Structure 1
């Protein structure tokens, strides 16, 4: 870019989505830093060339009351950085409900921190196989496209199942704010700015922008950038990053996409997974069949206060022994949505005298403790965490202050370099993988390097 200063600041509603957004900006040639704690002038001073700053959060699994308590401070700290666009980065499958991860509540909080007359929303991201048409969200799996309310995973998500693909309707259940749409026909008509002007009033409406392909992606980025005014707040997926980058590239403001470096191979990696996704289940099966040491975490023992420590030590010991034998360990808590422990999770939580949300966080904390002990006992320097909630717990408990992209791995899940004041953690290579991300041999790719 020709001008100095930040172009974008964002808060990620989970850790995997936060690294997805960082990857999109870095690949476009925009130096990006992802902070795991509120960015301070002292931390940012270590990265003088940064043009985009993110803050990894955990709001996707939180209540509206939690958002009321926590998000104002987070948004204020990011707005103070002075970027013209402040983003609440959401998952490209729009995981949310009025009770959990309410995107509507986040928007109502966020718009008060910027002076813009509208709140744009871009969710479609063709690179991630997410598409929005006439306000409806679609996702492709194994080459087949699904409307999100018929998606094999999202329609039956254990926390935020998607029963409505029209994002205007889905979001309308989370906020009283007016919601408009610029559909792909209007986007291609050439009078999109007039359409936007017709939607504006003095109430800062949310305006969804359809994205189907590279043409509509660039048009969406152009509209957001040129109509940013005095600064806008946007709740968007990494489709926003891809859209802005496409527009900046078309204008010559960034060079042709430099892409990302290829990851080198390593002898062993360590992985933990709290994901219930069928995609991750396939990846776990591949790992088991291809020489990884794959071990299930016993949820009943892990959630019971009396046996938790013993279970952590058991699986950490198995993992450490695997590393000493030259094998890559993978500790997992579930193998797909039909896993018996997933189907019985409410009963398992109740027996441990925990709410479902408390139990889910406890699983993440347990996997974090396993990973921390493994790193303390072995020379492993590349790790993987699968699952958005688990990624947040693990990364936040490893003493990492910030992440930057080190290399490409799979779309939406880059290889990151950890920055830490702890020499044992500084320079650690880590991949935070969302449940829907990656090919069947993903864990092998992380070990052997991207092809």
Structure 2
């Protein structure tokens, strides 16, 4: 196996797996560290999807270290720790603590931190992360219910989470190309740095960074950092030059949309779906807490409103003020956990009733749904929007799943996703 990746949430793992697949790597995504042997003889890359972004740092370290040990035991040549392109985390972690643990476990002298994803308008300049033309701290991410990002300076954010020295590889050096980037790596090691926040505003920057990082044991970043990695293996004669197009044989069955994200983009996607006439059921967390809404309630409604031609939409998305009010009554973590569990149970019951095509919005929601469905591994299929492919389950009953990070996808994502399956 050439590349082994550890992703801190499910949708981010799928995004990364898509990038690697498009680069010509035969990629499998697994949900959690596999407990039984897997035949990886025909696999170039494995992405281990964890649910470690918002759990206590010690638990995130334990899960990530277990995944790294499994990947190492299966012959991985290079490791990638994948996190969100908006660097979702808190002052106490988990990017820094997990990165520190992996640095030591893999005996890596230096790594980079580069969450840039220009295609989705995530860029880094002078160490500051931008979402479109806004600083991260001015973007809707400042109101994220679990990981509000109110500082765009990645050196400062990462520096608060790690015990190691953090430096910057600035735009001028990145823009100068591969040789200049490599020289800066050598200088950083000589200065005792363990992390370099790396500027990137174009895909070419990411390809150059990837090429310069060919000898790194550990790389950290968003899925964009993987743009340049397959070519390294190709230059080394370890990958074929022909890149096959991803295909997917979707199972027949009923479709449904489950949206647990409260991001601005998911809210817009919900609104467009409703305007297009898709039947929708809104989950009120307070009603869930009072047991006025249950999985059975939702399943009965979806069954009555869905058809093979048109999905039904179940959503808990709400604007920041409403989310805050709910969190004040139920607790921040408790409110999210309750809705995720409900949507997971809903998905499980829908699958039992013949639903086999699921679009799921939100990283935490996707994790809950996949766990409830018992999906352990996914095959990557065609791309719907940048960073979001259709996937199919690799064991058990065939299921088609489109697992979308809350901020990803165009406003019409819920409408056009099904056309890719046709």
CA contact (8 A) 2:256 2:311 kept: yes
Q: CA deviation at 1:248?
A: 5.7
How many residue pairs get aligned? The number is 419
Provide the aligned C-alpha RMSD in A: 2.5
Alignment partner of 1:380 out of 355, 375, 384: 355
User: 1:123 maps to which residue?
Assistant: 115
Cα deviation, 1:278-324, whole Å, max 9, x if unaligned, reads 111111111112232200112123234xx27x522111100011125
Alignment of 1:345 onto 2:326: yes
Alignment partner of 1:272 out of 258, 264, 272: 258
Corresponding residue SS for 1:29: coil
Deviates more, 1:170-179 or 1:16-25: 170-179
Alignment partner of 2:158 out of 168, 171, 174: 171
Q: CA deviation at 1:234?
A: 2.6
User: 2:180 maps to which residue?
Assistant: 191
Alignment partner of 1:8 out of 3, 15, 18: 3
User: 1:136 maps to which residue?
Assistant: 128
TM-score scaled by structure 1?
Answer: 0.86
User: 1:19 maps to which residue?
Assistant: 14
- Counterpart CA distance in 1 for 2:308 and 2:195 is 55
User: 2:100 maps to which residue?
Assistant: 108
Corresponding residue SS for 2:101: helix
CA contact (8 A) 2:381 2:391 kept: yes
- Counterpart CA distance in 1 for 2:348 and 2:251 is 22
Q: CA deviation at 1:69?
A: 4.0
Alignment partner of 2:145 out of 158, 162, 169: 158
- Counterpart CA distance in 2 for 1:335 and 1:262 is 33
CA contact (8 A) 1:263 1:409 kept: no
Q: CA deviation at 1:202?
A: 8.8
- Counterpart CA distance in 1 for 2:234 and 2:175 is 19
CA contact (8 A) 2:2 2:233 kept: no
User: 2:370 maps to which residue?
Assistant: 395
CA contact (8 A) 1:261 1:408 kept: no
Alignment partner of 2:316 out of 333, 340, 345: 333
Q: CA deviation at 1:155?
A: 2.1
User: 1:352 maps to which residue?
Assistant: none
Q: Give 5+ residue unaligned stretches, structure 2.
A: none
Alignment of 1:437 onto 2:405: no
Alignment of 1:244 onto 2:215: no
User: 1:3 maps to which residue?
Assistant: none
Corresponding residue SS for 2:373: coil
TM-score scaled by structure 2?
Answer: 0.92
Corresponding residue SS for 2:213: helix
Deviates more, 1:327-336 or 1:104-113: 327-336
Distance 1:251 1:79, change over 3 A: closer
Q: CA deviation at 1:381?
A: 2.0
Q: CA deviation at 1:86?
A: 1.5
